[in-house]
Amino acid sequence: MIPILYSGNSFAFDGILISLLSIMKHTKSAIHAYVLTMDLSDVNASFKPLDESMRNILESVCKEHNPDSSVTLIDVGELYRSELLNSPNKNTFYTPYSFLRLFADRIDILPKKILYLDIDTLAREDISSLINTDISDYELAGSLDYYGDKFLSKGYINSGVLYLNLDMIRMTSLFKRCIELINQKRLYLPDQNAINKFVQKKLTLPRKYNEQMKVQKDTVIQHFVTTTIWFPIVHKRKIKPWHVSKMKRKHPEFNDILDKYALVKKI
């Protein structure tokens, strides 16, 4: 069984679908996906939750792969409203949904160990080797952030792929301390900075589990972050898995996944 944790609003559906399709391509194991969501449309009209029809599509695709698979939506709106609604970080570059993983330690139905993935991550190989990594003595495991390790602090990890040990996180109050900081002052990378500041016991994973730049031969998980292109003109490049035409031009190795995505979405 492969336990996966995602978070997002209704716009996250496409990313979650493509990510799951990529994972299923490389494993026969059942996938148990948990999706943290909430309705915040009173704050922003686009902040609508994933709904049951979306869950049904995701689960049917997963069950087609392995009948023991499942997809569970978890509404954490009450927790967010009570603890982060008025945070000084509520209107940053990132949506409020990026903070929802910080409530994972308070959700009883989640397994003790679970792999959190950003919705812009795609598997290129079987992720079982990551799931089988022993993190019993760690709060979490993650790969170095390509820029953060160079410019912020040595050992700074990227929070887009995190193997979480929720029992240990409860013991150290890691996520609770992160929420406290996010409520105190505005941060550039709120949840990622907070996790890096307070994590006490982390296992640094090889880059192949969260490749943020060019796909390498041994890449297991490719993370499509926004990158800076320095030549010939400095600019930002933002290609996400659901940008199908751009993906097919730049990353044809994922064409079969994108074709399956289009078939499911009937686009």
23-66 tens-digit pLDDT: 999 999 999 999 999 999 999 999 999 999 999 999 999 999 99
pLDDT at 228 over 60: no
The DSSP 8-state label assigned to residue 117 in this structure reads E
Find the range with the poorest average confidence among 161-175, 227-241, 245-259.
Answer: 227-241
In angstroms, rounded to a whole number, what is the distance separating the alpha carbons of residues 38 and 70?
20
pLDDT at 187: 86
Q: At residue 266, does pLDDT exceed 90?
A: no
Residue that wins the pLDDT comparison between 145 and 266: 145
Domain extent for 19: 2-265
**Residue pLDDT, tens place only, 183-224:** 998 888 999 999 999 999 999 999 999 999 999 999 999 999
- What pLDDT sits at residue 233? 43
Residues 124-140: tens digit of each pLDDT: 999 999 999 999 999 99
Q: Is the pLDDT of residue 236 over 70?
A: no
* CA atoms in the 13 A half-sphere facing the CB of 239: 16
pLDDT tens digits for range 68-115: 999 999 999 999 999 999 999 987 778 999 999 999 999 999 999 999
CA 48, CA 92: separation in Å to the nearest integer? 18
H/E segment holding residue 157? strand 157-165
- Is residue 229 within 8 A of residue 214, CB to CB? The reply is no
Q: What is the number of domains present in the chain?
A: 1
Range of weakest confidence among 60-69, 225-234, 241-250: 225-234
Share of the chain above pLDDT 70, in %: 95
pTM of the model: 0.95
Phi (first) and psi of residue 51, to 5 degrees = -110, 180
Query: Token pair of 53, please?
Result: 């029809």
Q: Would the pLDDT of 120 be above 60? A: yes
The CATH number linked to 251 is: 3.90.550.10
At residue 27, the pLDDT reads 96
